[in-house]
């Protein structure tokens, strides 16, 4: 008899998980409160798949930077004082995980998953002939500060044995790789090219995956909000929606930042905090299209070509579940992008810009939460932080394998929920 699975969340993570589960013979239903796939965090993210960004944001020294930038609307990391009471426990764990040894362990775990995920994505792309404005030219990370450059070069070298390829570049070489950087080459300390990085439109990818999943038999129920999860002892008995009650043999939570709210009544503490990010999308004039996505690590800003569009994304705002579009923040990242590519000022003025904001589900230590829970038929696939697109395919395959009783291709130990049960 075929086992049934209910997946909560039709974003990148949930939709890809559903496809892998259908491929493994399960009867899958995906539930989402929105009217279609990938209309929240997966809708207009930075568009990058970056194993090169495996190091979590809680690097040693993060607390000092947060305090220094407190209240600054143009800061890369913005902690709003009103958010402090709701994030105190998570914040303590976040800072505890920022010590050098645990931070390095988390970086290595994320990198292993990222490289595995890129491999899985490449297989999906060719197997299903997916079209999502994909580009495989790597990324170029630029630096103005020599110390920041040296620190990143040291980390890149340390991660090389794990499979992360990188090439240091002088400013002139960075401009040769991406000619639009030539205007600011004299302002740069240097750059690093990561050839294994990729880019693409996560929303288009999810729409493609939803189409293939439906062909494979996956049922999608949109405009369906899960209001509660019913537990019967150590077993999940059903999902209560605003319309009805849904029953399945197995349940997968891929609800991003909202997953902790759903499992709180089950007495499961999931240390995920919603970290707000912004993006601006423009159509640059002819001659202003990037060949290689650009990452400004110091400003936490990315510029990603997506076909005939350019996606500018960045910043991290700690402000709870607020999803208000703050024009000061979106305007700030647009100005920062124009400082990198001054020629954008004209195209933006002519064609306008589309601003967006979304919540990244960030665990206190960095790696996502994948696999089983104390409830025998409840599984997590959540907590990917700023790397949901990067870690999507690998995470989905690991969770689908766990549900199917298969041995995962990589050790899932670093991503288990049990690491928080102490």
Whether the CB-CB separation of 316 and 299 falls below 8 Å is answered with no
DSSP element (H, E) containing 220: strand 219-221
C-alpha angle 304/307/313, rounded to 5°? 25
- Alpha-carbon 331 to chain mean position: 22
C-alpha angle 242/245/249, rounded to 5°? 140
pLDDT in tens, 349-399: 656 789 999 999 999 999 999 999 999 999 999 999 999 999 999 999 999
Q: What is the dihedral of CA 339, 343, 345, 347, to 10 degrees?
A: -140
Q: Backbone dihedral region of 151: left (phi > 0), alpha (psi from -120 to 50 degrees) or beta?
A: alpha
142 phi and psi angles, rounded to 5 deg = -105, 150
Residue 255, classed as helix, strand or coil, is coil
Rounded (to 5) percent helix, strand, coil in the chain? 40, 25, 35
From the list 157, 153, 152, 190, the residue with the least C-alpha distance to 171 is 190
Q: Which residues make Cβ contacts (< 8 Å) with residue 353, sequence separation at least 6? A: 280, 281, 282, 334
- C-alpha distances (whole Å) from 26 to each of 219, 240, 249, 349 are 11, 22, 10, 50
Per-residue pLDDT of the chain (422 residues; tens, 9 = 90+): 689 999 999 999 999 999 999 999 999 999 999 999 999 999 999 999 999 999 998 877 766 666 665 556 666 666 676 676 778 888 889 888 989 999 999 999 999 999 999 999 999 999 999 999 999 999 999 999 999 999 999 999 999 999 999 999 999 999 999 999 999 999 999 999 999 999 999 999 999 999 999 999 999 999 999 999 999 999 999 999 999 999 999 999 999 999 999 999 999 999 999 999 999 999 888 778 899 999 998 888 999 999 999 999 998 888 899 999 988 888 889 999 999 988 787 767 656 789 999 999 999 999 999 999 999 999 999 999 999 999 999 999 999 999 999 999 999 999 999 999 86
Q: How far is the C-alpha of 152 from the C-alpha of 158, rounded, in Å?
A: 10
The residue to which tokens 């019913």 are assigned: 230
Residue 23, classed as helix, strand or coil, is helix
End-to-end CA gap in the chain? 37
Reading the block at residue 345, the tokens are 């000022």
Whether the CB-CB separation of 366 and 385 falls below 8 Å is answered with yes
Q: How far is the C-alpha of 254 from the C-alpha of 403, rounded, in Å?
A: 14
- Alpha-carbon 226 to chain mean position: 23
Domains of the chain: 4-138+196-420 (3.50.50.60)
């Amino acid at each position: 008899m075929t086992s049934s699975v209910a997946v909560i969340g039709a974003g990148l993570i949930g939709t890809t998980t559903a496809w892998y589960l259908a491929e493994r013979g399960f009867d899958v239903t995906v539930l989402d409160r929105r009217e279609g796939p990938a209309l929240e965090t997966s809708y207009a993210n930075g568009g990058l798949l970056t194993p090169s960004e495996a190091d979590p944001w809680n690097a040693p020294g993060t607390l000092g930077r947060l305090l220094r930038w407190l209240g600054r609307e143009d800061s890369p990391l913005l902690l709003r004082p009103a958010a402090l009471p709701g994030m105190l426990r998570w914040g303590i764990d976040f800072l505890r995980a920022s010590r050098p040894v645990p931070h390095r362990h988390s970086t290595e775990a994320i990198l292993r998953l990222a490289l595995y995920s890129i491999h899985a994505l490449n297989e999906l792309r060719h197997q299903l002939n997916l079209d999502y404005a994909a580009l495989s030219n790597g990324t170029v990370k630029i630096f103005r500060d020599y110390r920041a450059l040296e620190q990143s070069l040291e980390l890149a070298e340390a991660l090389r044995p794990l499979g992360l390829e990188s090439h240091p570049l002088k400013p002139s070489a960075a401009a040769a790789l991406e000619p639009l950087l030539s205007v600011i080459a004299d302002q740069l300390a240097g750059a690093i090219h990561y050839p294994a990085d990729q880019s693409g439109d996560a929303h288009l990818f999810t729409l493609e995956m939803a189409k293939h999943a439906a062909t494979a038999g996956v049922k999608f129920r949109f405009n369906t909000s899960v209001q509660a999860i019913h537990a019967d002892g150590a077993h999940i008995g059903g999902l209560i929606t605003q319309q009805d009650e849904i029953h399945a043999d197995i349940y997968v939570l891929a609800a991003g930042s909202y997953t902790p709210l759903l499992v709180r009544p089950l007495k499961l503490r999931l240390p995920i905090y919603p970290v707000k990010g912004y993006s601006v999308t423009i159509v640059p004039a002819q001659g202003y299209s990037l060949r290689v996505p650009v990452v400004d690590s110091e400003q936490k800003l990315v510029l990603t070509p997506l076909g005939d569009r350019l996606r500018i994304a960045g910043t991290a705002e700690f402000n709870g579940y607020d999803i208000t579009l703050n024009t000061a923040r979106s305007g700030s990242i647009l100005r920062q992008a124009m400082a990198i590519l001054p020629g954008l000022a004209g195209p933006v003025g002519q064609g306008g810009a589309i601003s967006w904001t979304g919540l990244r589900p960030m665990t206190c230590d960095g790696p996502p939460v994948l696999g089983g829970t104390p409830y025998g038929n409840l599984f997590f696939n959540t907590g990917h932080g700023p790397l949901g697109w990067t870690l999507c395919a690998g995470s989905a395959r690991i969770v689908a394998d766990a549900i199917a009783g298969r041995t995962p291709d990589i050790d899932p130990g670093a991503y288990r929920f049990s690491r928080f049960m102490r």
